[in-house]
Amino acid sequence: MTNTAPSDLPMSNSNTGLTLSTAPVSSIEIPIKGHAIRVPCVYINAGAIIAQRKTGISIASVMDEHLLDHEVIDHPEPFIAKLRATRLEADVLTFAQKLPDVAPHHSYRMEWDNSAVIPITSFSEWLEHRVEYDVRKALRRSRRLGVSAELAEFNDTFVDGIRSIYDESPVRQGRAFWHHRKSFDQVKRENSTYLDRSVCIGAYHNEQLIGFIRMVIVGTIATTLQVIAKRQHFDKKPITALIAKAVEICETRGLSHFVYGSYIYRDPTSSLTEFKRRHGFEQVLVPRYYVPLTWKGRLALAMKLHRPLAERIPQSVCRVLRDTRNRWAERQVQTTASRS
């Protein structure tokens, strides 16, 4: 990610007694569906505050909020005053608390973020009491078939291995895979964020990288940025081996939680949610707040326009649409393969 924003420039406001940010609006690159997109940005409290337009309104948020090792919005009222003093055009501000702080602290409109979390006690407790029997069986199978999961150094060899995983198929989980056929430099740049706090774990078979996890350490929390493996090695259960190694590393480093994205992505009956449950993850709800900054923002929150469109469509309709998309994507892969 790159940016062109300068540091905060403070200005005194005699009416409020606050120090307000007059940092000009700049821009910053963020990844959206595999593409680097520039969005408006200002810097407040050493955090990049970005504005993204969704369903007709502009929503401000802290970029990479869950990965930062400091609090950008520790005191909301002064922060909101600083944000209003900038020229960033935003109708709504959203921010969340961080694990393990899950008790709501503020009176703003609140909704729940859900995270897939393994509380870390010990590797043996996870393996013997948290996971299902088939996960233990899969881990034994993985080892028997020669898969080893181990800490990996982020170097050019590792980046080449990541590219080989990305380039295995143009479709994953029923949709076009955003990372397919990216250049070496793109893959290296996109996986180089937060390297000083990153942990890379590789799953190897015959010295070939067949899967990897990259996670970022934030305080005592390990948060995954990516978990992926080659589909041709599915029978060797590399993802199970990677998760087991991640839990082991978390225990060794004295971390308190291992977080793997959301527990539920719209559909609570999805195979991914079931996969996480069987691997010992549990759902943890974290408060997320929404603060209207304009009349348009107040109206949008009242009409729930801040929520993604897919969340406002009945689950039964979403399942039909997903199944249709998945069948179409698989046909595209088969057509491409037959032509090559």
Q: Report residue 68 as tokens.
A: 């930062």
* 238-252 helix and 133-144 helix, angle to the nearest 10 degrees: 100
The contacts of residue 194 (CB under 8 Å, 6+ apart) are 67, 216, 225
Q: What is the pLDDT of residue 7?
A: 34
- Could you tell me if residue 88 is inside a domain? yes
Q: What is the pLDDT of residue 2?
A: 40
- Could you tell me if residue 62 is inside a domain? yes
Q: What is the pLDDT of residue 331?
A: 64
Calpha distance 247→130 (Å, rounded) = 12
Residue 17 zone, left/alpha/beta (φ > 0; ψ -120 to 50; rest): left
> What confidence tens digit (pLDDT) does each residue in 74-85 have?
999 999 999 999
- Could you tell me if residue 301 is inside a domain? yes
Q: Whose CA is closest to 258, among 99, 95, 113?
A: 99
- Could you tell me if residue 111 is inside a domain? no
Q: What is the pLDDT of residue 168?
A: 95
**Longest pairwise C-alpha distance within the chain:** 71
Residues 266 and 236 both lie in one domain: yes
Residue 237 zone, left/alpha/beta (φ > 0; ψ -120 to 50; rest): left
What domain range includes position 165? 116-283
- Could you tell me if residue 335 is inside a domain? no
3-class SS at 218? strand
Residues 248 and 139 both lie in one domain: yes
Instruction: Using 70 as the pLDDT threshold, list the residues of the chain that sit under it.
Output: 1-23, 308-340
Residues 186 and 125 both lie in one domain: yes
Q: Hey, how many other C-beta atoms are within 10 angstroms of the C-beta on 64?
A: 16
> What confidence tens digit (pLDDT) does each residue in 30-51 have?
988 778 899 999 999 999 999 9
Q: What is the pLDDT of residue 20?
A: 46
Residues 22 and 125 both lie in one domain: no
